[in-house]
Structure 1
Amino acid sequence: MNVFASLVERLADLLQPLFATTATAAAIVLFTMLVRLAIHPLSRASARGQKARTRIAPELAALRKKHAKNPERLKKAVLELHAREKVSPFAGILPSLLQAPAFLLMYHLFSGDRMAGHTLFAAPLGDHWADALSHGGVLGPAGRVYLVLFALVAAVATFTYRRTKAQLAAQPLDLGQPTPGAGAIAKVMPLLSFATLISVAVVPLAAALYIVTSTAWTAAERAFLFRDQQGPEEAAAPVATRA
Structure 2
Amino acid sequence: MLAFAPLHGAVGAAGTALSWLVDLLEPLAGGTATAAAIVLLTIVVRLLLSPLTVAQVRGERRRAALAPQVRDLQRRYAADPAKLQTEVFALYRSAGANPVAGCLPVLLQAPFLLVMYRLFSTTEGGTGLLQERLGGVPLGHHLGDGLAGAAGPLFAALLAVLLLLAWWSSRRARRASTLTGTVAGTTTEGPGAAALARLLPLLPFTTVLVALVLPLAAVIYLVTTTAWSALEQAVLRRPQPEKTGALDRN
TM-score range, shorter chain: 0.7 to 0.9
CA contact (8 A) 2:67 2:186 kept: no
Residue type matched to 1:151 in 2? A
Q: Output one character per residue of 1:22-52: Cα deviation in whole Å (capped at 9) or x when no partner.
A: 1001000000000000010000000011001
Matched AA of 1:69? A
Equivalent in the alignment of 1:171: 181
Secondary structure in 2 matching 1:39:
helix
What are the residue-to-residue correspondences of 1:107-186 with 2, within 5 Å? 107-113=117-123, 114-133=128-147, 136=148, 140-169=149-178, 170-173=180-183, 179-186=190-197
Unaligned runs of at least 5 residues, structure 2: 1-10, 242-250
Match of 2:55 in 1: 45
The answer to whether the 8 A contact 1:160-1:219 is kept is: yes
One-letter identity of the residue aligned with 1:198: L
89-98 vs 22-31, greater mean Cα deviation? 89-98
Structure 1 vs Structure 2: percent identity of aligned residues?
40
Q: Deviations over 1:194-238 (max 9, x none)?
A: 1111111101111111111111101111211111347xxxxxxxx
Q: Is the 8 A contact 2:120 2:217 kept in 1?
A: yes
Distance 2:136 2:157 in 1: 13
Aligned to 1:205: 216
Moved more, 114-123 or 165-174: 165-174
Work out the CA distance in 1 between the residues paired with 2:42 and 2:105.
Answer: 18
Structure with the bigger RCO (C-alpha within 8 Å, sep 6+) is 2
User: 1:4: how far off?
Assistant: 1.2
TM-score (norm 1): 0.87
| Letter matched to residue 104 of structure 1 | L
| Cα drift, residue 189 of structure 1 | 1.3
Which residue does 2:226 correspond to in 1?
Answer: 215
* In structure 2, distance between residues paired with 1:177 and 1:14: 49
Structure 1 unaligned blocks of 5 or more: 231-243
Could you give the per-residue CA deviations for residues 60-83 of structure 1, whole angstroms, max 9, x where no partner exists?
A: 111111222222322221121011
Q: Distance in 2 between matches of 1:131 and 1:23?
A: 23
Question: RMSD of the alignment, in Å?
Answer: 1.8
Structure 2 contact 138–216 (Cα < 8 Å) conserved:
yes
Check conservation: 2:64, 2:186, Cα contact below 8 A: no
Question: Closer, same or farther in 2 for the Cα pair 1:105/1:99, shift >3 Å?
Answer: same
TM-score scaled by length of structure 2: 0.85
What is aligned with 2:237?
A: 226
